[in-house]
Amino acid sequence: MNTTRDVWLTPDAFDRLQEELAVLLAKDDSPVPEGTDHVSEARRRKARVREIQELIHHAVVGHVPPDDGIAEPGMVLTVRFDDDADTETFLLGVRDGADPGGLEVYSPESPLGTALSGARQGEQRRYTVPDGRTMHVTLVRAVPYGRHHESHE
């Protein structure tokens, strides 16, 4: 991960990343046995350490974005895909393996996140999925995570 942008994280996500980093750094102090599997595991661990350190360095923790209906990291977005009547709600933020309040999390760098960034309520955007198809998505609602989270406790 080579990002220079700020990364929006929930306080829980930030804490989990710090805990994971501490565990990984403790493992770095232990000797690596000989063998291809052990060496590749050590490389994966070091890569994950760098990734977490970069996330933590660029973290914006718990900042509540303005309640202006514009899609940005830290907002809970409700969207409608193509002309489907059903909606989907998710947090636009960093995926850390957690499930913040039962919400899916989509990265702002994902195709969907990139398409929706800056969208206003009612605005339709399009994006390309990995298989090459173009999808249309309409932003139905955008509210700050803190406000969405408070109303669902």
pLDDT in tens, the chain (153 residues): 444 577 788 788 889 899 999 999 988 666 666 666 777 888 899 999 999 998 888 888 877 788 899 999 889 999 999 878 899 999 998 766 555 567 888 989 899 999 999 999 999 999 999 999 999 999 999 999 876 655 544
Q: Where are the domains of the chain?
A: 7-61, 75-151
pLDDT in the model for residue 32: 61
Report how far residue 150's alpha carbon sits from residue 153's, in angstroms, rounded to the nearest whole number: 6
Burial (CB < 10 A; 0-12, 13-18, 19+), residue 22, is exposed
Q: Is the dihedral of CA 14, 16, 17, 21 positive or negative?
A: positive
CATH code of domain 75-151:
3.10.50.30
pLDDT at 22: 93
Residue 128: CB atoms within 10 Å? 12
The whole-angstrom separation of Cα 47 and Cα 142 is 34
